[in-house]
Structure 1
Amino acid sequence: MHRKLTLRITDQAERDLQDIWSYIARDSPDAADNFLRQITIRFEPLRLAPNIGAKRDQLAPGLRVHLHRGYGIYYVFDEWELIILRVVHGARSVEDLFS
């Protein structure tokens, strides 16, 4: 892929990001803001090269994950669009999220 894909973040992924922010903000709102900025910056390289994420077809067809500081960015894509499905901590059972 040579063109930048359109980015779509699902409502569930938005809730995941809000939950992450709320959890970190209990100790430091500034750290929460910084972490959210860092993780959302990771969406940009995926828009240009979505194949960089590891395949997770066993969870859902076409599903991929890109890791950032213990969190998995779960997404699918086609020739036009990158869809962020979930953003979850690595300690969570992702099998339950995609079953």
Structure 2
Amino acid sequence: MPLRLLLTPQAEEDLFEIWLFIAADNPAAADQLIADVEKGWSHLAEFPLSGEARTDLAPGIRRQVTRRHQTLYKIEDDAILIMRVLAPKGKPVDKEASEV
């Protein structure tokens, strides 16, 4: 049975900022990126350990990359907690992973 997906307010803000940045030039591409990221999250719900362990960032943190965008998450009892969604390095909406 797939785990539930929960997003922190920061992850929701990250995703919205990424969408806004891309949509300024191409709204359809922004929509497609969000759909791809969410599809990746569905995979995580089925296979939560498929993401790379990133205990160097914080205990229990894992990372999934979708089209160069990183999702940082934790596995909880019955849910995947999406902590952050980071744009590719060097982009204006890039966030510090240390803010997990």
TM-score normalized by the length of structure 1? 0.89
Q: How does 1:45-56 map to 2 (within 5 A)?
A: 45-56=43-54
Amino acid at match of 1:22: L
Q: Which residue of 2 is the match for residue 15 of structure 1?
A: 13
Partner Cα distance (1:29, 1:93) in 2: 22
> Matches of residues 80-99 of structure 1 in structure 2 within 5 Å?
80-91=78-89, 92=94, 94-98=96-100
Percent of pairs with identical residues: 32
Alpha-carbon distance between aligned partners in 2 of 1:4 and 1:79, rounded to the nearest angstrom? 12
Residue equivalent to 2:24: 26
- How high is the TM-score relative to the length of structure 2? 0.88
Query: Per-residue CA shift, 1:13-34, capped at 9, x if unaligned?
Result: 0000100000001101111111
2:63 corresponds, among 62, 65, 75, to: 65
Deviations 1:38-85 (A, max 9, x none): 111110010011100000011111000000111101000123111000
CA-based RMSD of the aligned residues comes to: 1.4
Q: C-alpha distance in 2, partners of 1:84/1:43? A: 9
Give 5+ residue unaligned stretches, structure 1.
Answer: none
Q: Is the 8 A contact 2:55 2:62 kept in 1?
A: yes
In the alignment, structure 2 segments of 5+ residues that lack a partner are none
Across the two proteins, how many residue pairs are aligned to each other? 96
